[in-house]
A and B are shown apart, each in its own frame.
Chain A
């Protein structure tokens, strides 16, 4: 029972990290219709930057916030390159983000090398219902809850948040009322970068990362995000938590190497289900 609880909580924590990453994907896709394949890179950059800043003597908190800001800047840069030119299609921008993800590999290897790195998080563990759980797991869960609440407030209660939603809902009408849709897309990319960065700084103490960890992160983040059709953060959060727990259970009771297979299988199943549902809806509408 204590093993189960331990896997469950650590799985929830990792799932929260995936959820943050997925929420960045969703934010960018909602506003720009671009599937940002560079999303995992933001987490890697922030995780590695936080480690470097902590090594340089910056205190905890400040180092992580600075790393998240760097990821936000990386998001802005990716957005500028991928969507800054007027008239760029979402499909073209998707390819650009994929390419930028590979370019980032070279930059990351130059700065941090190719060995996995980690940095100390909230050290120690606590005994909880007989299970020993890392304090970092509770930190990840708590921060994710706060971030999702803040995101909800931003999109549902603030004027700029409503304007971002308006761009997602109807870009033509948004332009007609004077909203700069391209600029809002860049805001979404910067926000997506910060969300990915938050995932990176929180997960790195639990899962050492290297330049190519973005593949694992984007696979899981994308699997979670597709659950909400890449547009709804709520289902993405639910999907990410299911994914995190499923992977922790597979790793705990069976074999860690099959974790990614779980994510890929889940993503595939959801995409097949969604496409068959969409086809059924289209047929219904056509009647």
Chain B
């Protein structure tokens, strides 16, 4: 299933190897402008390798990664600059835009994440996990991205905190048309939040489709949602409907429009 909007991230036949070990084997996926897309998979599936390839941190052995516009990362485990203040962490998020007027103005992040205002001068390493995840969000927003890659939103966080952060993501997506690639082990969270998704296992895309289709798939439900097999096979086009827990799920934000024109496109090839 492909998005009906122009892709901001396009990964095609991507192969990533570390020595003789193949971490990603001909992986293809797209994220359309303003879309919320989930990538679920177990530990060792290759999720982090995919993140690193999209961010240009690892070089693919073959295939392509094409990013139209700016991409920012909310990394797994928050990855704070622990000795620096919250303010400094946020400012460094604008490193790619340094030199532009107002690039380091953090006030726009405090408007979106007002919870951070009172800890702005505190060392980031001393914050709680939820606060650090917010700083990681804010730091990504400082890049004024067209798409944000969120690596393990829920890792190590209480369900209440995760729900609050998911709400922030949803409102950023709805309000700013920010495209999101949400990479999660918690498939229920990811499929509830996103309109479309992929399942990555052992370095390969095993299933893809709308969040509903994936949630209803016997394989996905059994492996990731802890529930019994239900109906459809993933990969086809099914109707929007209810989630595996019975909650009404939102449609893919594929029809949204991305912010501004692409300002820093990137294409990586081996």
Contact = CB atoms under 8 A, between A and B. Distances in A.
A162 B143 contact: no
Given A176-B75, A178-B96, A162 B88 contact: yes
Contacts of B139: 177
A165 B84 contact: yes
A176 B79 contact: yes
Most chain A CB within a 10 A radius of its CB, from B72, B79, B83, B84 = B79
A8 B187 CA distance: 68
Interface size, B (range): 20 to 34
Overall SS of chain A's interface: helix
B98 A159 contact: yes
Interface in A158-177: 159, 162-163, 165-166, 169-170, 172-177
A166 B79 contact: no
B42 to A, nearest CB: 22
Contacts of A177: 72-73, 92-93, 95-96, 139, 143
A165 B92 CA distance: 11
Interface string A42-74: 000000000000000000000000000000000
A7 B4 CA distance: 80
Given A169-B84, A176-B73, A177-B139, A163 B92 contact: yes
Contacts of A165: 81, 83-84
A166 B91 CA distance: 11
B21 interface: no
B57 interface: yes
Contacts, number: 53
A238 interface: no
A170 B80 contact: yes
A169 B81 contact: yes
Contacts of A264: none
B82 interface: yes
B163 interface: no
B91 A159 contact: yes
A169 B84 CA distance: 8
Given A178-B95, A179-B95, A170 B88 contact: no
B155 interface: no
Interface residues of A, number: 15
Contacts of A159: 91, 98, 104
Nearest to B149: A176
B55 interface: yes
A178 B79 CA distance: 14
Contacts of A176: 55, 57, 73, 75, 79
Interface string B19-60: 000000000000000000000000000000000000101000
Nearest to B142: A177
Nearest to A160: B98
Nearest to B73: A176
Interface of B: 55, 57, 72-73, 75, 79-84, 88, 91-93, 95-96, 98, 104, 139, 143
Given A162-B88, A178-B96, 19 more contacts: A159-B91, A162-B84, A162-B92, A165-B83, A165-B84, A166-B84, A169-B83, A169-B84, A172-B75, A173-B75, A173-B79, A176-B55, A176-B75, A176-B79, A177-B92, A177-B95, A178-B143, A179-B92, A179-B95
11 contacts: A159-B104, A162-B84, A162-B91, A163-B92, A165-B83, A165-B84, A169-B81, A170-B82, A172-B75, A176-B79, A179-B92
